Amino acid sequence: ETGVTQTPRHLVMGMTNKKSLKCEQHLGHNAMYWYKQSAKKPLELMFVYNFKEQTENNSVPSRFSPECPNSSHLFLHLHTLQPEDSALYLCASSQDLASRETQYFGPGTRLLVL
């Protein structure tokens, strides 16, 4: 285990649903990241938080809404998603942005949008 947990591991939702993905890290890190991994595509960085402040939004549609209440927890709120949003959503953490070179990933949430 990497010290980064994600729940749920699998999620099926309709396009009108609202759901949230949760990430928790037990490493004492201060930077957290959301990535999207679609089949046959590279990992895409979505959001970055450093000391609870969002430092990067990589042109992500507003139907994805991140929240970072503290350095240990990161959420991704989902609403009115599209089928093309089906993917593996990965959370990662690093000591801080200066130490971003070593990121620890969670197991991911496999999302299917119907």
Partner 1 sequence: SQKIEQNSEALNIQEGKTATLTCNYTNYSPAYLQWYRQDPGRGPVFLLLIRENEKEKRKERLKVTFDTTLKQSLFHITASQPADSATYLCALEVNQAGTALIFGKGTTLSVSS
92 binds partner 1 (CB under 8 A): yes
Q: How many CA atoms lie within 13 A of 26 on its CB side?
A: 6
Residue 26 corresponds to which tokens in the numbers above?
């037990």
Type of residue numbered 92? A
Q: Where are the alpha helices (DSSP H) in 1-114?
A: none
Closest CA to 79 of 17, 35, 12: 17
Structural contact between residues 6 and 75, judged by C-beta atoms closer than 8 angstroms: no
Q: Which of residues 9-28 bind partner 1 (CB under 8 A)?
A: none
From 14-22, 67-75, 78-86, 91-99, span contacting partner 1 (CB under 8 A): 91-99
Give the shortest CB-102-to-partner 1 separation in angstroms: 6
108 binds partner 1 (CB under 8 A): yes
Q: Which of residues 48-87 bind partner 1 (CB under 8 A)?
A: 48, 55-56
Type of residue numbered 75? F
Binding region for partner 1 (CB under 8 A)? 2, 4, 31, 33, 40-43, 45, 48, 55-56, 90-92, 97, 100-108, 110
